[in-house]
Amino acid sequence: MSNIVYVGGQKGGTTKTTTSHLICLGAILRKQPAAYVLTYPHRRIKAEGRPYGALDGRDGNGLAQIITASHSMGNGWLIVDGGGNWPAFDQAMAEQAHLTILPFRASEEDLEAVARDMETMPHALAAFGMVHEQACPGAAQRLIDGLSKAFPGLVIDTPVWFVNSTAELLGASLENPSTAVRNAARHTFGILTTAFELRAELADEATSAAHAG
Ligand SMILES: Nc1ncnc2c1ncn2[C@@H]1O[C@H](COP(=O)(O)OP(=O)(O)OP(=O)(O)O)[C@@H](O)[C@H]1O
Ligand SMILES: [Mg+2]
C-alpha cells in the first residue's frame, strides 16, 4: 500500500505545490517510489522529464481511481497537492489520506488560516514552509510558538529550506535537478517522514486511550 499524503489548506500561496514536488523528488533520491497528483482544475502539469510520476487528479473520478490504485501499489508515496480555498475538498482528502500536512508561512494571515484548518481537520499536522531567506527571527518564531501552544504536538516547526530557483522544480524538465534543489528535496522528505512517524504515534496513542477508556 502506498502512503497517501495530502498537502492542503485553505489559504493560497502557502507553498503547497513547491513542497509537494520537493517531497516527491526527495523520495526518489531516497530510492522510494513517489508520484505527484495534481487536483487543482486550472493548473497543468507535464509528466515527461520528471524522475517521479505526475498524475492528473483534476477530475473527481480520475482522482478516486488514482487513490484506489495506490492501495494495491507497492510501498511508495502518493503526494496529493491541494488547491487552496477549497474547504470541502480539504475535508474529503484529509479523511482519505494517511497524513495531511498544512504548510504555512510565518505571517499572521497564514497562521490564522492554518489554525482554522486545524480545527476542521483534527488529524492534520501543520508544517512550516519557508519562503524568505530569513533565519526565522523573533517575530516569526513567536507566531509559530503560539500555534504550537494552541495545537500541542501538531506543529512541525522544522522549516522547509528556501530554494533559490523554485521555477526549476515546476519547469518543463527536472531531469537534472541542481544540487541545491536536491538537497532541499532530501531535507523536505526528511521532514515528511518525521511527520509520518509522528502521525502514526498519535494514532497509536489514540487507540490505546480508547482501549483504556
Ligand atoms: N522552499 C521555497 N523556497 C523559495 N520559494 C518558495 C519555496 N516554496 C514556495 N516558494 C514560492 O512561494 C510561492 C508560492 O508557492 P506555491 O505555488 O508552492 O504555493 P501554493 O500553496 O501551491 O499556492 P496556490 O495556493 O496558488 O496553489 C511561489 O512563488 C514559490 O516559488
Ligand atoms: Mg499550488
Residue 105 falls in which region: left (phi positive, over 0), alpha (psi -120 to 50) or beta? beta
Residue 20 cell numbers, joined = 509537494
- The answer to whether residues 18 and 82 touch, using CB atoms and an 8 Å cutoff, is no
Q: What 3-state DSSP class applies to 99? A: strand
Give the number of the ligand closest to the Cα of residue 19. Answer: 1
User: What confidence tier does 49 reach under pLDDT thresholds 50, 70, 90?
Assistant: confident
Distance CA 62, CA 71 (A): 15
State the pTM of this model. 0.94
Using the CB atoms, write b or e for 111-123: b if 16+ within 10 Å: bebbbebbeebeb
pLDDT at 84: 76
Q: Work out the angle at residue 189's Cα, subtended by the Cα atoms of residues 80 and 169, and round it to the nearest 5 degrees.
A: 65
pLDDT at 132 over 70: no
> 84: Cβ below 6 Å to ligand 1?
yes
> 14: Cβ below 6 Å to ligand 1?
yes
Owner of C-alpha cell 507535464: 46
Q: Whose CA is nearest to atom 1 of ligand 1?
A: 162
Distance CA 67, CA 78 (A): 8
CATH of 3-212, one of 1.10.150.530, 3.40.50.300, 3.30.750.24, 3.30.1490.20: 3.40.50.300
First-to-last C-alpha distance (Å) of the chain: 31
User: What confidence tier does 77 reach under pLDDT thresholds 50, 70, 90?
Assistant: very high
Mean pLDDT of 150-166: 89
Mean pLDDT of 100-115: 93
pLDDT at 73 over 80: no
User: What confidence tier does 91 reach under pLDDT thresholds 50, 70, 90?
Assistant: very high
> 171: Cβ below 6 Å to ligand 1?
no
Q: Of 17, 133, 187, which is best to mutate to test ligand 1, by the most ligand atoms within 8 angstroms of its C-beta?
A: 17
pLDDT at 133 over 70: no
User: What confidence tier does 23 reach under pLDDT thresholds 50, 70, 90?
Assistant: very high
pLDDT at 136: 61
User: What confidence tier does 138 reach under pLDDT thresholds 50, 70, 90?
Assistant: confident
Mean pLDDT of 101-115: 93
> 15: Cβ below 6 Å to ligand 1?
yes
Q: Of 131, 134, 170, which is best to mutate to test ligand 1, by the most ligand atoms within 8 angstroms of its C-beta?
A: 131
pLDDT at 50: 92
What proportion of the chain, given as a percentage, has pLDDT over 70?
A: 97
Distance CA 66, CA 147 (A): 34
> 131: Cβ below 6 Å to ligand 1?
yes
Beta-carbon-side half-sphere exposure of residue 141 (alpha carbons within 13 Å): 5
Q: What 3-state DSSP class applies to 4? A: strand
pLDDT at 134 over 70: no
pLDDT at 158: 87
> 13: Cβ below 6 Å to ligand 1?
yes
pLDDT at 131 over 70: no
What proportion of the chain, given as a percentage, has pLDDT over 90?
A: 63
CB proximity list for 206: less than 8 A, separation 6 or greater:
none
> 16: Cβ below 6 Å to ligand 1?
yes
Q: What is the mean pLDDT of the chain?
A: 90
User: What confidence tier does 135 reach under pLDDT thresholds 50, 70, 90?
Assistant: low
Give the number of the ligand closest to the Cα of residue 159. Answer: 1
Q: Whose CA is nearest to atom 9 of ligand 1?
A: 15
Q: Work out the angle at residue 24's Cα, subtended by the Cα atoms of residues 21 and 28, and round it to the nearest 5 degrees.
A: 140
